[in-house]
Chains A and B, each alone.
Chain A
Amino acid sequence: MRITVSVNGQSYTRDVEPRLLLVHFLRDELSLTGTHWGCDTSNCGVCTVQLDGVPVKSCTVLAVMADGHEVTTVEGLERDGELDAVQKGFVECHGLQCGFCTPGMLLTAQALLDRHPDPDEAQIREAISGQLCRCTGYENIVRSIRWAAEAKS
């Protein structure tokens, strides 16, 4: 069926099977491979994108469900050549190693700071608790998000 999805501010119209998962729509139809997938059961969160500004796991959303909605992926975080504060924070505080969970973490972090500009460590830990990272032990992800909060304020 024909769907139109706004991704990172740009509108895309495609004919898709109803069963196509949003993560595959982004990766395969739009070549936005910054969004990864890591499990099939919505546990790992590496496929996290923002749907109408809210973080969701795109492996458990059908592309057709996003018809008429706005999706933000990691490729949409940098605006006019300026990195988002969370992107800068992850570099500053070594919040990534293999980089596979990073896009999802960044999108959750950005959404968190939009709603809570000054989160404490506990709030940050809770916000990212649906996303696994196998490299960092989360320590530097937490610090990165705190760095971004401070940089923004």
Chain B
Amino acid sequence: MSYGRMHRKEDARFIRGRGNYTDDVRLPGMLYGAILRSPHAHARIVSIDTSAAEAHPKVKAVITGQTLAGLNLAWMPTLSNDTQAVLATDKVRFQGQEVAFVVAEDAYSARDALELIDVEYEPLDAVIDARKALDPGAPVIRDDLEGRTGNHIFDWEAGDRARTEAVFEQAEVTVAQDMIYPRVHPAPLETCGALADFDKVTGKLTVWCPTQAPHAHRTLYAMVAGLPEHKIRVISPDIGGGFGGKVGIYPGYICAIVGSIVTGRPVKWMEDRSENLMSTAFARDYHMRGEIAATRDGKIQGIRVKVLADHGAFNGTAQPTKFPAGFFHVFSGSYDIETAHCEVTGVYTNKAPGGVAYACSFRVTEAVYLVERMVDVLAAELGMDPAELRMRNLLKPEQFPYTSPTGWEYDSGDYPKALRLALDMAGYDKLRAEQADKRARGELMGIGVSFFTEAVGAGPRKHMDILGLGMADGAELRVHPTGKAVLRVSCQSQGQGHETTFAQIVGHELGIPADDVEVVHGDTDQTPFGLGTYGSRSTPVSGAAAAIVARKVRDRAKIVAAAMLEASADDLEWADGRWSVVGDPSTGKSLAEIALGAHSNLELPDGVEGHLDAVTVYNPPNLTYPFGAYICVVDVDPGTGQVKVRRFVAVDDCGVRINPMIVEGQIHGGLADGVGMALMQVMAFDEDGNHLGASFMDYLLPTSMECPSWELGETVTPSPTHPIGAKGVGESATVGSPAAVVNAVVDALGPYGVRHADMPLTPANVWRVVHGDPFRTDLAIP
């Protein structure tokens, strides 16, 4: 079930090097910005001397926190209703924090001038390990907040504590496991940056910026800077990958805007890779203790988890307001579990802000990892095969729609079918036999299974907003007289291929070729309001809007067709992309014919306007719940601890696939993320708060050599709430795959009695785990 494997419209420009990314945009008279950053994780600013930098012949302006304070812009609100320093005034609170902004005539001179700024710091003790953030006497990071005496941000819980406790007390078997989902970074290959152009004459501010949420940015700029919103235009041109890291507003964007206002010229600022890794939104950093209660024969009865969430120096996580831990409370996963309870405590540390980024679906990633690791821990305890244990506990098709113990309403699914398909594709029984043979020879081979349920497409406006902005998306569809159409949407592709898939949706609804539909996005002056592309919400929300607005056009076309055919609209039927009189296909009018009619002198019924254009706002009734079954096969070298991912089987069900080619591409990318996070990606810090992963030499991303050839399978269970039955898929594989890899490695290490190992499973980590002496992967290796 799909709309076809159409080649992407976007590709024509990209393969010719004619993409238009933010750093490709040049304006006459453009100046260049660079940011001076803190070398310390926690320090008081004693003084900042910018005189030498200002004297540099090519420097046009040096902006500090004091400059911004004069404009009431030294601090900005975060997406979690906290505040964040744009440029530090009192203290620096993480290594890499923004301290000063230089504007110069060229990028090289701007960099040179940074070296001429003299900042005197008084270093302070830093809080690096989240587990020490709440210790009595811990340094108070946010002393800027009135009345703040510690580093506690929030406590949050979901589920039924009493019932869960009761189940655990009576359970035949309980298992518990501590685990870290370490701090990682989405690291899109294009870094963040902005080109700001404030026109003093018209009062119009234009900002080019690789944002996943252009409309949200525009509204926030209006709120933060007090600029009239109609005088702000945010243009998000081609984006070189986002993965959640390009949702928020970073201090550099504000600096570029202020730089343009101060100098009267366009100012471009692009961060370098180290700045990107050190200061923009990280992901995860969840310290979790999971527990499962079950019967001895493997029926899971209860699950609970306590989380310590490291939010960094400013609480800047991007998620719907009601949910400070995002959608983590979907952690009962894909299983029929009587009761569940979770508690999350958020703390400040002297690290960069963020937490929700990197294809995490608002922390479903952490939730899936937790439950899928816990199921394997239970399987080891019971001596059961982990696939069999999952099959035993998976929700059954007849249980949908299913209300989870923490209140989620899963829309649709056939979980056992997906798992069976994955097991068949992998040749699971044969793999287990091979593993037994290998073990007998002292070789280490592991087979890891994970099953995930995602919750994507935020979201019903009633429950979900970001800073008060409800998460509904608009769409506008214009049909020109010759039947060619322009769709305008609020979301913005970072590689997902919206120009193709959204055209396919409209083309399918209107019976016209997708090539006849132009998709306009990424420019707030050109598109209706909406919350943007993240949390796998484009297809569930904007994609639905595209279908609905096309149906509105089709309905209007029916009236026009009726006038053209001199028939009653009630007597028309839509078939093969034409409106025709019921029973007489020869009367059929195509959309192009109707469009011309709608723009002609044709007499229309009273009250019916001409033309075919339509607008809509789609407020999703529910999230969509894609799911899948993943199986990973690894070989581990016992002498060195090296892990080789040999195979990876991924069965995904994301409902109706609009363009299967694009869906598969999305899954491939997410699987590579899983291998990366499981085996190599981590941002660790030493005790002074020095970032130990601040370049691509130290923050390792998987290459073509670590990735196997992915083996994909699919089942299709349409979403009953989405107009075309589709579900989001952009993050499914990133969410589901890390647990499969870790489960495989832990499975391989079974002969050593290993039940858990934290990511990333580097050779050193695996070797230490085998020797019963694991180290904390989120700190400096001792």
Contacts and interface: CB of A to CB of B under 8 A. Distances in A.
A136 B15 contact: no
A73 B16 CA distance: 10
Contacts of B239: 98
A138 B496 CA distance: 16
Nearest to A122: B705
A97 interface: yes
A102 B14 CA distance: 7
B17 A74 contact: yes
Interface string B679-721: 0000000000000000111000101110101100000000000
Given A137-B710, A139-B668, A132 B701 contact: yes
A40 B695 contact: yes
Contact of A36 (B7, B240, B696): B240
Interface in A68-87: 73-75, 77-78, 83, 87
Interface string B265-295: 0000000111000000000000000000000
A116 to B, nearest CB: 16
Interface in B536-582: none
Interface in A16-30: 17, 19-20, 24, 27
B704 A129 contact: yes
B189 A44 contact: yes
A91 interface: yes
B188 interface: yes
A76 to B, nearest CB: 9
B17 A32 contact: yes
Interface string A105-135: 0100000000000000100111011111111
A129 B707 CA distance: 11
A97 B497 contact: yes
B465 interface: no
A36 B19 CA distance: 10
B108 interface: yes
Contacts of A103: 17
Given A75-B16, A97-B497, A36 B21 contact: yes
A14 interface: no
B671 A137 contact: yes
Interface string B55-66: 000000000000
A136 B190 CA distance: 15
Contacts of A37: 23
Nearest to A74: B17
B135 interface: no
Interface string B289-310: 0000000000000000000000
Interface residues of B, number: 57
Interface in B652-670: 661-662, 664-666, 668-670
A38 B14 contact: no
Given A39-B695, A125-B704, A97 B15 contact: no
Contact of A139 (B10, B15, B710): B710
Given A44-B189, A91-B15, A135-B495, A38 B108 contact: no
A137 B17 contact: no
A103 to B, nearest CB: 5
Interface in B475-492: none
A94 B665 contact: yes
Contacts of A125: 704-705
A98 B495 contact: yes
Contacts of A124: 704
B21 A100 contact: yes
Size category of the A interface is: 35 or more
Interface in B629-683: 661-662, 664-666, 668-672
B669 A136 contact: yes
B189 A38 contact: yes
A97 to B, nearest CB: 3
B8 interface: yes
A76 B544 CA distance: 40
A97 B18 contact: no
Contacts of A39: 273, 695-696
Contacts of B20: 33
A136 B668 contact: yes
B429 interface: no
A141 interface: yes
Interface string A38-52: 111101101000000
A64 B669 CA distance: 37
B17 A139 contact: no
B437 interface: no
B416 to A, nearest CB: 27
Contact of A137 (B16, B661, B672, B697): B672
A63 B190 CA distance: 22
Given A19-B108, A41-B695, A100-B241, A134 B17 contact: no
Contact of A43 (B8, B243, B672, B696): B696
A151 B709 CA distance: 22
B16 A138 contact: no
Nearest to A84: B15
Contacts of A36: 21, 23, 189-190, 240
A106 to B, nearest CB: 7
B94 to A, nearest CB: 20
B662 A101 contact: no
A94 B697 contact: no
Nearest to B494: A98
A66 interface: no
A146 to B, nearest CB: 11
B646 to A, nearest CB: 14
B518 interface: no
Contacts of B19: 34, 99-100
Nearest to A87: B15
Contacts of A131: 703
A43 B190 contact: no
Contacts of A32: 17
A38 B273 contact: yes
Contact of A142 (B11, B18, B665, B704): B704
Interface string B175-219: 000000000001111110000000000000000000000000000
A35 interface: yes
Nearest to B705: A129
A102 B653 CA distance: 29
A82 to B, nearest CB: 12
B242 to A, nearest CB: 8
A26 B6 CA distance: 33
B705 A74 contact: no
Nearest to B7: A91
Interface string B10-47: 11111111111101101000000000000000000000
A140 interface: yes
A138 B672 contact: yes
A78 B16 contact: yes
Contact of B273 (A20, A41, A91): A41
A10 B421 CA distance: 55
Which of A32, A38, A129 has the largest count of B CB atoms less than 10 A from its CB?
Answer: A38
B381 to A, nearest CB: 34
Contacts of B666: 97
A134 B669 contact: yes
Nearest to A89: B15
Q: Which 3 A-B pairs have the closest CB atoms?
A: A34-B17, A98-B495, A100-B240
30 contacts: A20-B108, A27-B24, A32-B17, A33-B17, A33-B20, A34-B18, A36-B21, A39-B273, A39-B696, A41-B273, A44-B696, A74-B17, A75-B16, A92-B7, A96-B11, A97-B241, A98-B190, A98-B495, A99-B10, A99-B495, A100-B188, A100-B189, A126-B704, A129-B705, A134-B189, A134-B243, A134-B669, A135-B495, A137-B671, A138-B703
Given A99-B19, A126-B705, A135-B669, 14 more contacts: A33-B24, A38-B273, A41-B695, A73-B17, A75-B18, A91-B12, A94-B662, A97-B241, A99-B15, A99-B495, A132-B703, A134-B189, A134-B669, A142-B709
Interface of A: 17, 19-20, 24, 27, 31-41, 43-44, 46, 73-75, 77-78, 83, 87, 90-92, 94, 96-103, 106, 121, 124-126, 128-142
